[in-house]
Structure 1
Amino acid sequence: MTDGRNPATRRSLSRRRALGVVGAAGVGALAGCLGGGGDTVGSLPDRGDQQVIADVESFPNEGNQHVQRGTGVDYGTRPPTSGPHYSGTVSAGFYEEPQPMGDVVHTLEHGAVVAYYDPEAITEDARSNLRTWARSFTGTWRSFLAMPYPYDDPETPYTLTAWRHLLRLAEYDEAAVRAFCAEYLGRGPENPVR
């Protein structure tokens, strides 16, 4: 049975369909590598590399009470890892400006990892990689955001934070970001999802 098209047209359509299937398979494979649905950068192990995690500083819980927006809060760590916070959160993303710390701390309570960077020291590779992490982890209970340090004179060019945990990096290290996320992402106290 023929469709009324000449043989050359049928061959051309057949090739385009085959390329479409290969292209769709390639996109599917890429999505699989990225965790599909924009939810991961590769698959995260259940726990982080213990050599990296050994360098993580852990701090006492400074509380999780909500305070009125605009209330000044003196956090015990810099950047903060817990404490009183506003009722809002910060969406996953790569930010060029610091976000309100009261919202950032609430985002940590939701299971986020926040990566701080020194805008004068960030490399293009680090910027690109942090953007990929921020696009890949966007869920309410396991998001990733990157933003400039909100303070003058950061101790290191990069710092990773999660609820009660902090890792300072003298240089950008994607393997350390992966280990930190594997250990803490989605494990905030409000609604742990991992």
Structure 2
Amino acid sequence: MSKRERQKQRREAKLAQQRAAQARARRARLLTFVVLGAVLAALVGAYVVQQQNQRNREAARLASVQEKLDELGCTEVQNLEDAGAGHLDGQSLAQQPPEALYPDRPATSGQHFGNWLMTGVYDELMDERALVHNLEHGYVLGYYTDAAPEDHVTAFKEYAQEQIDGKFPKIIVSPWDGELPDQANFAYVAWNHRQMCDEFDEDVFGVFIEDHHSGAGDAPPAEKGISPHLEEGGGTIDPGDEPFLLPPLGSQAPPDEGMDDGATDGTGEPPS
């Protein structure tokens, strides 16, 4: 074999090795794509199944809640007419207690005090005229009467605190002064929505929270996106362990007191 032939043979052998290596690389890439595609398909399938299971669980929960409303003495969620918003000055506060200001109570909208209350579960009475401002900010309110069973009130407060510490920080729970409509023991209130119950059930209250808390509810768009009020200042009042009752119900704020710094005028902006 001549030198030229040996060189040609070596070139051909080298080319054959290169082609074999390229073929192996193509097969490896193809296998990688197949495996990745299978993994992606499995992940998408698992996500779809998970979402469907979640929807099924939510549907079952809603159906369960609907079935036990009568048993718990609960009304359907009421959709009430929007009574507007706007702030009350000191003189208006002194002249208009909640029962004069809100013809249908617990109020789900309407004029209100220029400041609002801090998120919390309270053992003392909170002025409804301040709480309506919380409603405007996308809060859910929970009221209970003196006639409510003690163990139900305890469960109500504990569940509300769990939600506050979890995904739903815009919640306030406080006692209700007097009787609720239909002699109910519990009331769940959001902007333009309300539900009454004789007995507390965390599924019923939980569904109400999910449907009406913050961005999910019907509060004014410019207001319901405001961050939860978790500390005092900037318009937020911390009532502590004391009742918070404005004139003429109480004396926490003099009738001529204006809004604190940070209070909004119903449009999401500080007053001019």
Instruction: Give the TM-score category using the shorter length.
Output: 0.5 to 0.7
Flag the 1:88–1:96 CA change in 2: closer, same or farther, 3 A.
same
One-letter code of the match for 1:153? E
Matched-pair contact (CA < 8 Å) for 2:144–2:153: no
Count of matched residue pairs: 145
Identify which of 78, 82, 92 aligns with 1:61: 82
One-letter code of the match for 1:158? F
Quote how far apart the aligned CAs of 1:142 are. Answer: 5.1
State the match for 2:198 in structure 1: 170
SS in 1 for 2:184: coil
Aligned pair 1:49/2:62, yes or no? yes
Q: Which runs of 5 or more residues in structure 1 are unaligned?
A: 1-44
Map 1:59-138 to 2 at 5 A. Answer: 59-69=80-90, 70-71=93-94, 72=96, 73=98, 74-134=101-161, 136-137=163-164
Quote how far apart the aligned CAs of 1:135 are. Answer: 5.4
One-letter code of the match for 2:106? P
Flag the 1:79–1:173 CA change in 2: closer, same or farther, 3 A.
same
Q: Distance in 1 between matches of 2:196 and 2:150?
A: 16
Quote how far apart the aligned CAs of 1:138 are. Answer: 6.9
Percent same amino acid among aligned pairs?
Answer: 24
Map 1:6-25 to 2 at 5 A. Answer: none
Quote how far apart the aligned CAs of 1:120 are. Answer: 3.1
One-letter code of the match for 2:224? N
* TM-score scaled by length of structure 1: 0.65
Which structure shows the bigger proportion of residues in helix conformation?
2
Q: Distance in 1 between matches of 2:143 and 2:156?
A: 13
CA RMSD of aligned residues (A): 2.7
* TM-score scaled by length of structure 2: 0.47
Q: Which runs of 5 or more residues in structure 2 are unaligned?
A: 1-57, 227-272
CA offsets per residue over residues 133-175 of structure 1, 9 Å max, x none?
A: 2354279x9511111112x233201010000100001111110
> Which protein is bigger by CA-based radius of gyration?
2
Q: Distance in 1 between matches of 2:108 and 2:137?
A: 12
